[in-house]
């Protein structure tokens, strides 16, 4: 289950009560539709120990992917570059 709030992106597996992935929205640097199963690739900067590293998380199948993609791209009124 994916939950999107104005500040954080959460991913919680079906059989879990706790979120597996929590990404602050201000750390998200890229969103890409991927795969034949309507997947999504999310790229963000993780700033652990003062050293920024780029991380990626791939979600193989996302229900209502196009709506989630639009909400991620339109968040905070940022300008995105199509690559």
25-40 pLDDT, tens digit per residue, is: 989 988 999 988 999 9
Structural domains of the chain, ranges and CATH numbers in brackets: 2-77 (2.30.29.30)
Q: What is the mean pLDDT of residues 62-75?
A: 84
What average pLDDT is seen over the chain? 86
6 contact partners, CB below 8 Å, separation of at least 6: 25, 75
- Closest by CA to 38, choosing from 72, 66, 14, is 66
Tell me how many degrees the CA angle 58-26-32 measures, rounded to the nearest 5.
30
Residue 81 confidence (pLDDT)? 62
């Amino acid at each position: 289950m994916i939950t999107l709030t104005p500040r954080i992106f959460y991913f919680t597996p079906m059989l879990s009560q706790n979120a597996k992935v929590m990404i602050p929205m201000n750390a998200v640097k890229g969103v890409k539709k991927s795969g034949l199963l309507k997947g999504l690739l999310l790229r963000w900067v993780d700033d652990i120990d003062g050293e920024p590293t780029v991380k990626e998380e791939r979600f193989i199948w996302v229900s209502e992917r196009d709506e989630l993609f639009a909400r991620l791209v339109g968040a905070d009124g940022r300008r995105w570059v199509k690559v």
